[in-house]
């Protein structure tokens, strides 16, 4: 039986990384759309995105800075 026949989903490493990044961004307070956009952008430093919000930056301003 193949993976497809078993109905299993095999994520790529990139998909797992983006899912983890999105989870961390959501935990920092970003809404789903913003977190998804930032998670998929590998030129955006995750730690900077989280730190901006933790230091009091609004999510809107953080997005403007990061994107």
- pLDDT by residue for the chain (67 residues), tens digit each? 454 555 556 578 999 999 999 999 999 999 999 999 999 999 999 999 999 999 999 999 999 999 9
According to the model, what pLDDT value does residue 6 have?
Answer: 55
Q: Cα 34 vs. chain centroid, distance in angstroms?
A: 8
Dist. CA 3–CA 1, nearest whole Å? 7
Q: Cα 42 vs. chain centroid, distance in angstroms?
A: 10
Report residue 66 as tokens.
């990061």
């Amino acid at each position: 039986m193949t993976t497809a026949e078993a109905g299993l989903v095999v994520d790529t490493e990139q998909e797992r990384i983006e899912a983890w990044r999105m989870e961390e961004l959501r935990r920092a307070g970003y809404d789903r759309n913003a977190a998804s956009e930032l998670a998929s952008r590998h030129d955006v430093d995750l730690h900077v995105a989280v730190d901006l919000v933790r230091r009091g930056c609004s999510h809107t301003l953080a997005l403007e800075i990061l994107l």
